[in-house]
A and B are shown apart, each in its own frame.
Chain A
Amino acid sequence: GAGVSQSPSNKVTEKGKDVELRCDPISGHTALYWYRQRLGQGLEFLIYFQGNSAPDKSGLPSDRFSAERTGESVSTLTIQRTQQEDSAVYLCASSVETSGAIHEQFFGPGTRLTVL
């Protein structure tokens, strides 16, 4: 079966522009996560969706960042008015439902965002 896919694989944009990053989770996975990996740093949690529950947005660094998820399917991470410090690899992961247990997260290949 297909793994987690992300598009685009690379995105170069100018400072101040908006960008949208897409994630297609593994079919049947109700949980979806976004992480950010800046150069020389570990992965930072951004946001988490679990089924119909309200998303956990506690990791979003500013109100320029937002994400949506359509049902238990595709998710889009939007960054408005991009800044150079937003340059990073954005990783999406999915897992089976997480109520009361810890499950493996499967990661996509990431989107490399470069803000000029």
Chain B
Amino acid sequence: AQSVTQLGSHVSVSEGALVLLRCNYSSSVPPYLFWYVQYPNQGLQLLLKYTSAATLVKGINGFEAEFKKSETSFHLTKPSAHMSDAAEYFCAVSITGGGNKLTFGTGTQLKVEL
């Protein structure tokens, strides 16, 4: 079975600072990895996904993530935080043959301060 661990349920950064949200996965087969964002009172929106092509994946709103097999990690980064980035971020894993169902981490609430 696959699983995801997100370190840090709450992360606070200053506007303009680097955003780093951590995600580690466990999977017995090559995984597909996703980052979703949930803004207040809205549904989840896909930020980016890794599907075994390039290990550095670029997403929307300036976010990117790097798949590191040796570290079983898929951390999300953004060079410069904006106030509008404040939201909850979820890392998720899926495997082929698993019906595309997603296994999610517990989420990281990102706060951006002036």
Q: Which A residues have a C-beta under 8 Å from some C-beta of B?
A: 3-4, 31, 33, 35, 40-45, 48, 50, 56, 59, 91, 93, 95, 98, 100-110
Contacts and interface: CB of A to CB of B under 8 A. Distances in A.
Given A31-B100, A50-B99, A109 B106 contact: no
23 contacts: A33-B102, A35-B102, A42-B6, A42-B90, A42-B106, A43-B102, A45-B102, A48-B99, A56-B99, A101-B96, A102-B32, A102-B94, A102-B96, A104-B46, A105-B100, A105-B102, A107-B36, A107-B44, A107-B45, A108-B43, A109-B42, A109-B43, A110-B43
A3 B44 CA distance: 12
Interface of B: 4, 6, 32, 36, 41-46, 49, 51, 90, 92, 94, 96, 99-107
Nearest to A97: B100
A41 B96 contact: no
Contacts of B49: 102, 104
Contacts of A45: 101-103
Contacts, number: 63
A103 to B, nearest CB: 7
B24 to A, nearest CB: 14
Contacts of B51: 102
A40 to B, nearest CB: 8
B101 A4 contact: no
Given A42-B90, A43-B90, A107-B43, A48 B103 contact: no
Contact of B100 (A42, A98, A109, A110): A98
Given A42-B107, A108-B43, A103 B102 contact: no
